[in-house]
Amino acid sequence: MAPSRIENLRFRSELLRHVRQFFYDKHFCEVQTPILSADTIVDCHIEPLTVAQHLPLNHHGTRNYYLQTSPEFAMKRLLTEGMSPIFQITPVFRAGDRGPFHNVEFTMLEWYRLDDDYQAGMQLLAELVRFLFNAMPAHLPEIECQTYRHVFESNIGINPHTATIAELQAFCDSRQIAYPDRRERPETSPGANWGDSLDDWLDLLFSEVVQPTLESAIVYDYPFSQPHLATIRQDGGDAVSERFELFLNGLEIASGYHELRDAAELRLRFRANGDRRLAEGRSALPIESRLLQAMERGFPQCSGTALGIDRLLMMMLNAERIDDVLAFPIETA
């Protein structure tokens, strides 16, 4: 291991110490929730690692457990029990994610605080990042909070909330931005092909055109068609998802929500994601979960945020690959 890599790991240790100091000073409680669970987030684009586990006693045979892609489900269950504010630093896993900014196993910092609204969630994220850059120390340009519509229109000239697929495809063609072929869709597999969804085009243009311009920004008010686990609100004539994401040097570092409280709506979103996964040939994931059961008993208002520790380290150290801030990446783990 190169001496520079060892220095990066020492830097990592110091960063984690400051993370804990920030949250302890704000009277957060550090929690540990299971890495292996029968529940998992049902997402169209995130693939969990599956572990077949034999259960003794009154259970028969084996069942699938999942290495967690986020501690979100378990932490929200703690919120329903009245535990707040809470934070966690934990390894998480996403199958198939490997590249300069991805490792199958990585470290996530996640936190929740009851009674925080949308603005409070964004303010706490910005405050944490400023604190960490000052403590290390490292250079951080002033964080700007900008709506998704503003950054999209500024770079592309199209309102993302009223855009059509034809408009976005025409923009790609005019800029020679490559996109997957839109093959004829099999009748037995509706929605299986890339490009059938407006969000396919929005995500492509955001990542290719908008994201590289975001030096230090929190982007918020995403299109309502991209709600994930956030609430939806009307903003003038637009319906928006109360999601926010932090970008540094064009790289997504953190994402947060004004959390959805309606268990029935969340179940519908999981089913829609599950249907799309099957249409795209991905594995089925369990729609029902202990989180939904807990939410049916009542879920409090809160804001929650997840931050990638490894990517934050990359920005602080000007590292080109995530490998430079890990003890052992997947190939040597």
Per-residue pLDDT of the chain (333 residues; tens, 9 = 90+): 788 899 999 999 999 999 999 999 999 999 999 999 999 999 988 999 999 877 665 566 678 899 999 999 999 999 999 999 999 999 999 998 899 999 999 999 999 999 999 999 999 999 999 999 999 989 999 999 999 999 999 999 999 999 999 999 999 999 999 988 765 444 444 455 778 889 999 999 999 999 999 999 999 999 999 988 999 999 888 899 999 999 999 999 999 999 999 999 999 999 999 998 898 888 999 999 999 999 999 999 999 999 999 999 999 999 999 999 999 999 999
Q: How far apart are CA 41 and CA 28, in angstroms?
A: 25
Q: How far apart are CA 39 and CA 293, in angstroms?
A: 12
Q: How far apart are CA 308 and CA 205, in angstroms?
A: 23
Q: How far is CA 269 from CA 41, 255, 273, in A?
A: 11, 18, 6
**178 in helix, strand or coil?**
coil
What single letter denotes the amino acid at residue 232?
I
